Structure 1
């Protein structure tokens, strides 16, 4: 019942009201938890839809992933969650006062492509609608076929490029077993 009440509060509340609530809280644990949750809902004003899609994707192990339809596409939602995860894990950087350190260093959009050298390894948002992603590595753009697997293939390719060109590190964050442990997703199992 408690989680239903929490969910209801987020669904019926605007982001500004939630931020005001956070500022008025004295319980540091609650403030910390709310600060972790809030960025997930800022991607779109329809917070009920965002919460619903996150729950459905989690419950179905992404079997109901719809890459190009919805209020916000599932590809955009998963991409945003991936970015939020790494924004929260990277060391704060004074160049990114909004806390979006990962996005500032490792995500490039079409309009920013003129300075590709600035992004030795990055996720490239090639097209917003329908979403198409690519990977930048060592000054080259790696095309990944558009379609329902595009985002997930790009995320795996990005992790592989980080492993091969940056020794498995995003900033000071290790993607290997001593860090967030996602490098194993790109390593072929040994045949014994």
Structure 2
């Protein structure tokens, strides 16, 4: 017979060949006797086993690897037994933890070791939303295909949109908020507290811009950004909110923010209208003056049309290259170029994608120039 000894302290095996026969004279008896008294392995001692058939080799532990696997399995079984019965106050003798005959009190000793939290319901998108997104993407691809043959362009659209939102925020909104604060401070110092930005009417600000232009030259440049709605308090507060967070996280394409404790309603401009207005006003300030547009709205007069006005009423149809707002609530924008209308899918990105297409055409088809 062969005796295999395992020592936990050294994690090694020693094999001793004694060739002692069993009492019945069988040459195939095997004794496995761990020498240590601690640990799970000390509980297993196998008396000689007789194999009287030709398949005995399949049942024998013939090497160190199979012995170690067997002992590990037995350790795991014993561990489950201890969890299920030995140390708990449970009256049940079941060796498994998930014993349906037990009460919650039986598991108190184990459960008190853990802290449990309520799981949140998964917000998985519905099949209808997936279908709508797919349909919207396909519609956008068809519109862009009329402008460029580059099918991979749409793969960058999400990145372009995020960068464009950041650009509007950093280039227009944040400096605009800073300038509003600066002008209000200067007006207070001049003894005109009634002319605070966001409190005074747009007509009062226009008058002040004419009178105090030598003292506050930036006021004249600031007023066009505010000339969108009579409700100056809401407009200024909403511009401040949109400028926070870096990427206009509070933007709502078909709505706006709360005002004096009430929800946004259609008597107030949408966020899309506010952003389109400040974008056009910014480009008005960047383009050189044009004698045909003495009000200074060089870009807006040529490249932005809002319903109920119709494209072609300002210039001949052949020369129209503009962004057309065909709907106010909910806002929807279309691009008109060379007698063709490009209507990108409706929704929260319609304005951004229309502006991106406008800029893309300027870069690729108009040599990067307007006019």
After the TM superposition, which residues 76-91 of structure 1 pair with which residues of structure 2 at under 5 Å, given as runs?
Answer: 76-91=273-288
Measured on the aligned residues, the alpha-carbon RMSD in Å equals 2.2
Alpha-carbon distance in 1 for matches of 2:358, 2:286? 17
Following superposition, the deviation at residue 138 of structure 1 comes to 2.3
Change (3 A) 1:93 1:68: same
1:3 aligns with 2:204: no
Cα deviation digits, residues 19-61 of structure 1 (max 9, x gap): 2222222635x22x11121111110011111111111111022
Report the count of equivalent residues. Answer: 167
Alpha-carbon distance in 1 for matches of 2:345, 2:360? 17
Change (3 A) 1:166 1:17: same
Change (3 A) 1:64 1:94: same
After the TM superposition, which residues 70-109 of structure 1 pair with which residues of structure 2 at under 5 Å, given as runs?
Answer: 70=256, 71-109=268-306
Contact 2:306 2:324 in 1 (8 A): yes
1:53 aligns with 2:238: yes
Partner of 1:140: 340
Change (3 A) 1:39 1:5: closer
**Counterpart among 308, 314, 317 of residue 116 in structure 1:** 317
1:12 aligns with 2:199: yes
Cα deviation digits, residues 91-123 of structure 1 (max 9, x gap): 11122122111111112345322453231x321
Change (3 A) 1:113 1:20: closer
Alpha-carbon distance in 2 for matches of 1:24, 1:69? 36
Q: Which has the larger radius of gyration?
A: 2
1:63 aligns with 2:249: yes
Contact 2:213 2:219 in 1 (8 A): no
**Runs of 5+ in structure 1 lacking a partner?**
172-192
SS at match of 1:40: helix
Alpha-carbon distance in 2 for matches of 1:40, 1:170? 22
Partner of 1:157: 357
Structure 1 or 2: more helix by fraction: 1
**Runs of 5+ in structure 2 lacking a partner?**
1-179, 186-192, 257-267
Alpha-carbon distance in 1 for matches of 2:290, 2:183? 35
Alpha-carbon distance in 2 for matches of 1:101, 1:4? 26
Alpha-carbon distance in 1 for matches of 2:198, 2:311? 36
Taking structure 2 as the reference length, the TM-score comes to 0.42
Change (3 A) 1:21 1:108: closer
- Greater relative contact order (Cα < 8 A, sep 6+): 1
Contact 2:226 2:232 in 1 (8 A): yes
